[in-house]
Structure 1
Amino acid sequence: MLKELNKLEGSQVFCTVMNKSFLNSEFLINDKHKLYNYVAGYLANLIETKGNVEVRIDKSKGKQMLRDDFDNYFGDQLIRNSEIRNIQIYHSYSHAWSGLQFADIIAWSYFQKFEHKNELYADLLNIKCKMSKIWNKGK
């Protein structure tokens, strides 16, 4: 899969590393859904795009209310730095959507690099990764 991923032209990867022990918000610490939204929103602020946008998110939120909350927050954050005309956000099962499987591999590769100091898999990726950190007091 990594070899196939490396064949994609014009692809970009955005990675965020977060040290949860530095979070200063009990609200984020005690609500995994809000924390997920916060990190996704942080990433959305890094992306610049235009036109019509389709976003696929792993279907991890079972309740429609949680999906709507994510869609509203993520969409608002994505639109801030972009010239988007229309945004569609879909929550899909990763086993049914190959793009999400690739995203899982990328996330796992960088997790190995930062959590276990195993750079083997991240080093196999030829796609440029824009790395950012949420490190100091939730910033």
Structure 2
Amino acid sequence: MKDATVDILKRNSLSVTESRRNILQLFLQQNASALRHADIEQSLQSIDRVTIYRTLQAFAEKGIIHSIPGSDGAARYALCKDGCADGHHHDDHVHFVCTRCGATQCLDDVHVPFVRMPEGFEASKTEMVVSGICSKCRS
């Protein structure tokens, strides 16, 4: 997994640091689940909060991760799929938030529907979050 992190960082012209590698490795282990800043802090206690914040910002700017708005005001972050690049995100899928456990999941096969804008309006980003009960909580 460490080699994949180095490849991703180099491909995106980011310095390879231990903190970036560890944070990226955590994302790679999530299988489409999203993480909050607090989740990363709790999992990687050796990395300070500012370093995590700056790393998340750098990853988002480079198209490595995308943000998902949370109903609690805390953004979640998930790995981008192929096609995202420096400043251009193409993650047009729906996100699911479990109302019981709070898990946030990318639903890659469920696309955000096209929204026809009124004349004179131009959309730059469309986000869709569906809330409900996840499969783990239903069991």
- TM-score, scaled to structure 2: 0.29
Q: Output the TM-score relative to the length of structure 1.
A: 0.29
Higher relative contact order (Cα pairs below 8 Å, separated by 6+ residues):
1
